[in-house]
Structure 1
Amino acid sequence: MFLGILTLLVAIFSVIGGYVELKRKNFFGVGFAAVSVAVFGWFSVMTLFSIIFTGGGGTV
């Protein structure tokens, strides 16, 4: 659960960073932010989906 939340935070910070770089017209940074949002966003959504709906994850 912690890993899913952590990667979701990374995706959210990447969205913010992409917006800032778009205002600066740094399209190389915008591209990296978009790739980061896609990868970390997909991983966090699928991790949380797996934990919530299939009961995955270990007990601590």
Structure 2
Amino acid sequence: MGLVIIFALVSLLALYGIVRSLREKNILALLFGLGTAAVFGWFTIMTVLHHGFPTGTH
């Protein structure tokens, strides 16, 4: 279940990168950020839907 947490962290960092690239008007970084946020965000959502939310205990 640590995979969901890693995917979510990567998605959040990609969103931060998108905001930062918009502020600096960096088009290539914006494209890579959008792609990363889309892919890892989708993986996060689908993993949570399929496996459930991580509980923290086994």
Quote the residue 2:7 is aligned against. Answer: 7
In structure 2, C-alpha distance between the alignment counterparts of 1:16 and 1:48, rounded to whole Å? 22
Q: TM-score, normalised by structure 1?
A: 0.82
Identity of aligned residues (%): 35
5+ unaligned residues in a row in structure 1: which ranges?
Answer: 54-59
5+ unaligned residues in a row in structure 2: which ranges?
Answer: none
Q: TM-score, normalised by structure 2?
A: 0.85
Structure 1 runs of 4+ aligned residues shifted over 2 Å read none
In structure 1, C-alpha distance between the alignment counterparts of 2:43 and 2:35, rounded to whole Å? 12
In structure 2, C-alpha distance between the alignment counterparts of 1:29 and 1:18, rounded to whole Å? 7
What is the CA-CA distance between 1:52 and the residue it aligns to? 1.6
Q: How many pairs were matched up?
A: 54
In structure 1, C-alpha distance between the alignment counterparts of 2:43 and 2:15, rounded to whole Å? 15
Over aligned residues, Cα RMSD in angstroms?
1.5
Structure 2 residue 47 is matched with structure 1 residue 51 = no
Quote the residue 2:19 is aligned against. Answer: 19
